[in-house]
């Protein structure tokens, strides 16, 4: 069975590599004259067939990425089954060291070797595309009939136009990193919360090129005294300038409001203005025309379908089972889930609470294990913004009521989304470094390790370095309090190093801090405000089927609309050329909307078929009272360290762990502020060499991974 699974996985991987290589080759050939001639001939031949040039464009430009997404989903489903059946740790290979940090810089962040290589290749591709286009343009410089430009104005106008094509190349990749259910990047082991940064980089590059394109074009119109004639022009055919100008303004608004200074302080402004992407995409289509739009269509297609499926998956709403209120304005929400919903540690869910906002979704790391808890999942929320503070006040108000007057709080759940494989299982030792709310992904890892029945699947030793500002934040470790006292079975050894940076307290140790757990208050609410528990997304195989159905439906609609509305045949060539380009664009939009509607119907049927009336009986999970007087607890407390008034010295921590774990594989996971991640990455960079020139390992090997507890 394992051999068959491996064979099928290898075949799917080869198909993905073949399709991706073909798609990349297409983009490399696109700027050349050879491709231009061959493509023109192919379009002329396709116009005489039922598929038309639009069918050809879809098959060549859009189909490879959509097919990669479909095959990738099947591969992920196959890997998930194989992962569940695997029972032993694996040994990291040399390829793992590509994930280790190569550059640690405050401005650039933490970059691995593979990230730098891919960024370099993308820059080379952009340079090649631009050079090829400009070289051909200058070689065959043709004046515009409508614009009387001299030579330098004509050259500068061509330069501006080609910057628009660079923006188009970035646009082709822009939406792929932020897919959730149909995540193409998951095939490479890149999770959604990490790939958001690639979306930011690509979006910034796209806006830069689009701004140069638009500003330079306006400059040429201005110096040639054509700006008043051209700026308001909505052409019947060809490039629609007004649509491009509005699209650029909308894009700049989206980019400016997504800057960290605004996103972190005024999240609502960032969140709502980001939804202008729909306006931007429609105007982009009108500006470039349907022929160019097909080159960026795969990302738009997958993103739109992904968004629609997520809306269906997050309905109907459920209610939380209970909540815990920690000192320091932190909450633990306990939510009902179907026993069949499984997820891996470090998974993320998105929550919407209509009582607070009907539009806002916020992401949180799951702290529970689906292996240990069949009917519930938990998240911890540190209340620091308007939305989270509103949730805290809402729950606190319910806590002040009598039990018979408490009402359930409706919650919509989307997800969970998480890693396709349990990579952290392959290490002999884990070093977990967390700052503040960054502890939440690690709580799920510890819960999973605690619930495991097979000891060989998990690291034998876990060291947790937790950095907090105030001692009261220690309460976030409440869900693993029994592990700190070693009250579970001997599956792994847990060692805690706690650093409290903004307080100095003499003679306060782990025992005194554990007393803070007694201040935690629990709220039991009426969970029967809804008949549904969280069921999670559809299986990857069903998602692949829906994606294939949507792509076929779209192609059928776009062919039918074009043959019915736009004249066909050689005799109608003149009539076709006189058809306004925006009519063709509207047909493409209509075909896409109808394809999405049909696919949404299929997804809704699948969704409602899975839902079963009635939330299963849920016993409220209670953490056993702490017994700090037992000999076992006293011995366990001696292994933990508490430091006040300072930050950890990661060089010393790595060096000590290196000496204690000679020859073992050590996984380093960090989640917290960027400055902490950079410090850990730098320390890991200094200690990560574990191969000699001969390729034989002689000392402990550190492998770096970074996580985000929210987006």
* Placement of tokens 């799917």 in the chain: 12
How does 679-704 read in b/e, with b if 16+ C-beta sit within 10 Å? bbbebbbebbebeeeeeebebbbbbb
The pLDDT of residue 521 is 85
pTM, 2 dp: 0.88
The pLDDT of residue 703 is 83
Q: How does DSSP assign 125-166, residue by residue?
A: HHHHHHHHHHHHHHHT----SS----HHHHHHHHHHHHHHHH
d(CA 463, CA 550): 47
Mark whether 645 and 503 lie in a shared domain: yes
> pLDDT band at 530, cuts 50/70/90?
low
How does 445-467 read in b/e, with b if 16+ C-beta sit within 10 Å? bbbbbbbbeeeebbbbbbbbbbb
Residue 431: closest CA among 406, 387, 465: 465
Q: Which CATH number does the domain housing residue 694 bear?
A: 3.40.50.80
Q: Report the SS3 class of residue 706.
A: strand
Mark whether 324 and 397 lie in a shared domain: yes
> pLDDT band at 481, cuts 50/70/90?
confident
Give me 233's structure tokens.
Answer: 């022009």
Q: Is 506 exposed, middle or buried (0-12, 13-18, 19+ CB in 10 A)?
A: exposed
Mark whether 387 and 467 lie in a shared domain: no
Mark whether 393 and 429 lie in a shared domain: no
Of 212-216, 522-526, 539-543, minimum mean pLDDT range: 522-526
Q: Are 431 and 668 in contact (CB under 8 A)?
A: yes
Domain's final residue, options 362, 388, 420 = 420
| 343 located within any domain | yes
The pLDDT of residue 691 is 42
Give me 135's structure tokens.
Answer: 């070289």
Residue 419: closest CA among 457, 365, 373: 365
Q: Is 99 exposed, middle or buried (0-12, 13-18, 19+ CB in 10 A)?
A: middle
The pLDDT of residue 615 is 56
The pLDDT of residue 176 is 92
The pLDDT of residue 593 is 96
Mark whether 124 and 204 lie in a shared domain: yes
Average pLDDT of 297-304? 95
Residue 64: closest CA among 8, 22, 5, 14: 22
Q: What is the percentage of the chain residues whose pLDDT exceeds 90? A: 33
Average pLDDT of 507-516? 75
Mark whether 641 and 504 lie in a shared domain: yes
Higher pLDDT, 100 or 260: 260
Domain's final residue, options 420, 443, 460 = 420
Please list the residues that pair with 366 across neighbouring strands.
379
| 66 located within any domain | no
The pLDDT of residue 453 is 67
CA 231 to each of CA 150, 220, 244, 575: distance values in angstroms, whole numbers, following the listed order: 20, 12, 10, 28
Give me 444's structure tokens.
Answer: 């799920």
For residue 528, pLDDT over 70 is answered with: no
Mark whether 117 and 228 lie in a shared domain: yes
How does 561-590 read in b/e, with b if 16+ C-beta sit within 10 Å? bbeeebebeeeeeeeeeebebbebbbbbee
Count CB atoms within 10 A of the CB of residue 408.
17
| 519 located within any domain | no
Average pLDDT of 339-348? 88
Domains: count for the chain: 3
Highest mean pLDDT pick, 271-280, 472-481, 528-537:
271-280
The pLDDT of residue 688 is 62
The pLDDT of residue 571 is 40
Q: Are 284 and 247 in contact (CB under 8 A)?
A: yes
Mark whether 324 and 204 lie in a shared domain: no
| 269 located within any domain | no
Q: What is the 3-state secondary structure (H, E, C) of 212-266?
A: HHHHHHHHHHHHCCCHHHHCCCCCCCCCCHHHHHHHHHHHHHHHHHCCHHHHCCC
Backbone angles phi, psi at 659, to 5 degrees: -70, -35
d(CA 523, CA 299): 44
The pLDDT of residue 634 is 59
Mark whether 106 and 228 lie in a shared domain: yes
Q: What is the percentage of the chain residues whose pLDDT exceeds 70? A: 84
The pLDDT of residue 693 is 41
> pLDDT band at 284, cuts 50/70/90?
very high
What mean pLDDT is reported for the chain? 83
Q: Are 211 and 159 in contact (CB under 8 A)?
A: no
Mark whether 501 and 645 lie in a shared domain: yes
Higher pLDDT, 231 or 596: 596
| 597 located within any domain | no
| 586 located within any domain | no
Backbone conformation region of residue 429, classed left if phi is above 0, alpha if psi is from -120 to 50, else beta: beta
Mark whether 407 and 478 lie in a shared domain: no
Mark whether 416 and 443 lie in a shared domain: no
| 278 located within any domain | no
For residue 150, pLDDT over 50 is answered with: yes
> pLDDT band at 2, cuts 50/70/90?
low
pLDDT digit string (tens) for 448-473? 888 876 666 678 888 999 999 888 88
Average pLDDT of 30-48? 89
| 625 located within any domain | no
Give me 599's structure tokens.
Answer: 């696919």
The pLDDT of residue 660 is 79
> pLDDT band at 143, cuts 50/70/90?
confident
d(CA 420, CA 112): 21
Count CB atoms within 10 A of the CB of residue 228.
9
Pairing, β 348-352 against β 362-365: antiparallel
For residue 114, pLDDT over 70 is answered with: yes
Where in the sequence is the domain holding 197, given as residue range(s)? 100-233
pLDDT digit string (tens) for 412-452? 999 898 887 666 667 888 899 999 889 999 999 998 888 87
Q: Which CATH number does the domain housing residue 365 bear?
A: 2.40.30.10
Domain's final residue, options 420, 446, 467 = 420
């Amino acid at each position: 069975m394992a051999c068959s699974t491996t064979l099928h996985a290898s075949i799917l991987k080869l198909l993905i590599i073949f399709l991706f290589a073909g798609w990349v080759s297409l983009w490399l050939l696109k700027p050349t004259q050879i491709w231009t001639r061959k493509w023109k001939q192919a379009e002329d031949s396709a116009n005489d067939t039922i598929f038309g040039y639009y069918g050809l464009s879809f098959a060549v430009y859009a189909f490879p990425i959509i097919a990669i997404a479909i095959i990738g989903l099947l591969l992920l489903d196959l890997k998930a089954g194989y992962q569940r059946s695997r029972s032993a740790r694996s040994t990291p290979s040399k390829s793992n060291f590509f994930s280790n940090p190569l550059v640690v810089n405050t401005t650039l962040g933490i970059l691995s070797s593979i990230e730098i290589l891919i960024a370099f290749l993308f820059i080379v591709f952009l340079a090649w595309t631009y050079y090829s286009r400009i070289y051909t343009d200058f070689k065959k410089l043709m004046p515009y009939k409508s614009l009387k430009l001299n030579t330098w104005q004509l050259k500068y106008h061509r330069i501006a136009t080609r910057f628009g094509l660079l923006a188009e190349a970035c646009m082709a990749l822009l939406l792929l990193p932020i897919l959730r259910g149909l995540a193409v990047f998951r095939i490479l082991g890149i999770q959604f919360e990490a790939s958001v940064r690639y979306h930011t980089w690509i979006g910034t590059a796209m806006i830069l090129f689009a701004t140069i394109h638009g500003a330079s074009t306006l400059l040429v119109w201005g110096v040639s005294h054509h700006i008043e004639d051209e700026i308001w022009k909505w052409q019947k055919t060809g490039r629609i300038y007004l649509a491009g100008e509005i699209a650029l303004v909308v894009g700049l608004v989206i980019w400016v409001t997504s800057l960290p200074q605004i996103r972190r302080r005024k999240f609502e402004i960032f969140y709502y203005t980001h939804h202008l992407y729909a306006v931007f995409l429609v105007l982009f289509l009108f500006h470039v025309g349907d022929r160019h739009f097909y080159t960026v269509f795969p990302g738009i297609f997958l993103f739109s379908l992904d968004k629609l499926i997520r809306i269906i998956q997050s309905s109907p709403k459920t209610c939380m089972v209970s909540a815990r209120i920690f000192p320091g304005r932190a909450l633990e929400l306990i939510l009902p889930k179907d026993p069949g919903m499984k997820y891996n540690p470090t998974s993320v869910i998105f929550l919407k609470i209509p009582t607070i906002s009907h539009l806002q979704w916020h992401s949180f790391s799951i702290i529970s294990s689906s292996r240990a808890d069949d009917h519930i999942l938990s998240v911890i929320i540190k209340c620091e913004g308007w939305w989270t503070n509103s949730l805290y006040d809402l729950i606190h108000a319910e806590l002040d009521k009598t039990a018979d007057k408490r009402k359930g709080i409706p919650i919509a759940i989307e997800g969970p989304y998480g890693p396709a494989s349990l990579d952290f299982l392959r290490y002999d030792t884990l070093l977990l470094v967390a700052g503040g709310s960054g502890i939440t992904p690690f709580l799920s890892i510890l819960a999973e390790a605690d619930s495991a029945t097979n000891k060989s699947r998990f690291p034998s030793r876990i060291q947790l370095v937790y950095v907090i500002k105030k001692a009261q934040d220690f309460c976030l470790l409440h869900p693993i309090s029994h592990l700190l006292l070693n009250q579970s079975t001997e599956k792994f050894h847990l060692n805690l190093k706690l650093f409290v940076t903004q307080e100095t307290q003499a003679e306060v140790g782990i025992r005194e801090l554990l007393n803070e757990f007694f201040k935690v208050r629990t709220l039991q609410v009426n969970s029967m405000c809804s008949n549904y528990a969280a069921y999670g997304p559809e299986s990857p195989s069903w998602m692949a089927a829906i994606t294939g159905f949507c792509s076929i439906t779209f192609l059928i609609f776009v062919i039918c609309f074009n043959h019915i509305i736009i004249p066909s045949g050689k005799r109608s060539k003149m009539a076709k050329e006189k058809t306004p380009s925006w009519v063709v664009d509207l047909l493409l939009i209509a075909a896409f909307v109808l394809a999405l509607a049909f696919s949404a119907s299929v997804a809704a049927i699948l969704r409602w078929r899975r839902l079963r009336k009635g939330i299963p009986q849920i016993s409220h999970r209670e953490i056993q009272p702490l017994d700090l007087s037992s000999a076992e607890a006293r011995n366990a407390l001696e292994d933990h360290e508490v430091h006040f008034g300072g930050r950890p010295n990661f060089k010393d921590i790595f060096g000590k762990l290196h000496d204690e774990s000679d020859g073992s594989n050590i996984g380093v996971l960090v989640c917290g502020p960027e400055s902490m991640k950079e410090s850990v990455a730098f320390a890991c960079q200094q200690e990560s060499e574990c191969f000699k020139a001969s390729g034989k390992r002689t000392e402990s090997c550190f492998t770096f991974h970074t996580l985000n507890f929210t987006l």
